[in-house]
A = this chain, B = another copy of it.
């Protein structure tokens, strides 16, 4: 498995393009086949989520995706549903596919009516410009950015078979099923049941393990679309591995680009009694405002980390707990070893090293619960002045 350029357009049969004008953006991705999706569990469900879920149930296939930024088209009543359907129609008509073979996705302010008029005037131009190259992927990824500061996409090649993905998301990030918008494509020819299981597994290890602010969106959507255009045979295990990689990379890009963030936080839990406990502990640490602010300030206040583990609900024995901080280099700063604080005994150089790690842009917190053999990894970011600035002034 190796990474390749091009994002979703690295996959055979996939073309993409997008346009942005002020706060409005529109992206189209064409190409597809068998498809599956996971969606927000928020009880306020955005119109595009309702329509896309319906289309997937009806046809099981997606041949084109249309996505807009500027309005989430959520809590917009019957008019919102009509507008989401219109987005699908505008694409189906021009691409000569069925309405229910189109996926619709939206991101932006909740409650703000969708500016369908603007979309209608632009969709033709976007379709005319659809391209099967990195530029097409880039333009689509950029068109759906809101508070995102960079476009998010990745692709891998496994013996000639491709999996590519594109995502957006920097705030209202605490998916508990899908996440903001993530579109994954593959040219693998796999039955829809396999695609469904693989997507669910990959999402659980990636988008469901990332948090920026703890707020679950009304618009979360992750789609996996298979063009089936590759002749390469692949085992399900290998495909799963590739899909996991793509989804995890996209999830990490979201955390790294979390609103106002200066660093990525990776929390690795080992030694848990159950998978559920590992996930709980990892998420509690990565979600803790006190941990997030301590990391912003490179404040070596490790008590906040173990307090978060303590209230996470995970089973563990405080006397067997171990805690270390590291970056992506070899060196690890051990802070607690089997219930005993050890950092202060390791000499000045190690204390300095710990501060250096905390000032870096990729901080790994490893916690061994000392209670079992299950493990999990979660990603998040620090909480900064810029987070407050961005969100205190979002709609104005």
Contacts and interface: CB of A to CB of B under 8 A. Distances in A.
Contacts of A300: 395
Interface string A296-340: 110111111011111100111010000000000000000000011
| Interface core residue of A44, A294, A315, A341 (most chain B CB under 10 Å) | A44
A74 interface: yes
A388 B387 contact: yes
Interface in A266-304: 287-290, 293-294, 296-297, 299-304
A112 B389 CA distance: 33
Contacts of A45: 310
B215 A74 contact: no
Contacts of A217: 307
Interface string A354-396: 0000000000000000000000000000011101110111111
A171 interface: yes
B290 A75 contact: no
A255 to B, nearest CB: 15
A280 to B, nearest CB: 11
Contacts of A310: 42-45, 216, 218
Given A171-B290, A303-B72, A296 B388 contact: yes
A244 to B, nearest CB: 25
Contact of A307 (B42, B296, B396): B42
A215 B391 contact: no
A176 interface: yes
A189 interface: no
A13 interface: no
A391 B307 contact: no
A25 B341 CA distance: 25
A191 interface: no
Contact of A176 (B43, B296, B311): B311
Contacts of A124: none
A172 interface: yes
| Interface core residue of A216, A293, A339 (most chain B CB under 10 Å) | A293
B43 A290 contact: no
A204 interface: no
Nearest to A44: B310
B388 A383 contact: yes
B214 A306 contact: no
A287 B213 CA distance: 10
A160 interface: no
Given A42-B311, A45-B310, A294-B392, 15 more contacts: A43-B311, A44-B309, A44-B318, A110-B303, A111-B303, A172-B290, A213-B288, A213-B289, A213-B290, A214-B288, A218-B303, A294-B391, A297-B393, A301-B395, A387-B388
17 contacts: A41-B311, A43-B314, A43-B315, A110-B301, A172-B304, A214-B214, A214-B288, A216-B311, A289-B387, A290-B391, A294-B391, A294-B394, A297-B396, A299-B391, A384-B388, A385-B389, A388-B388
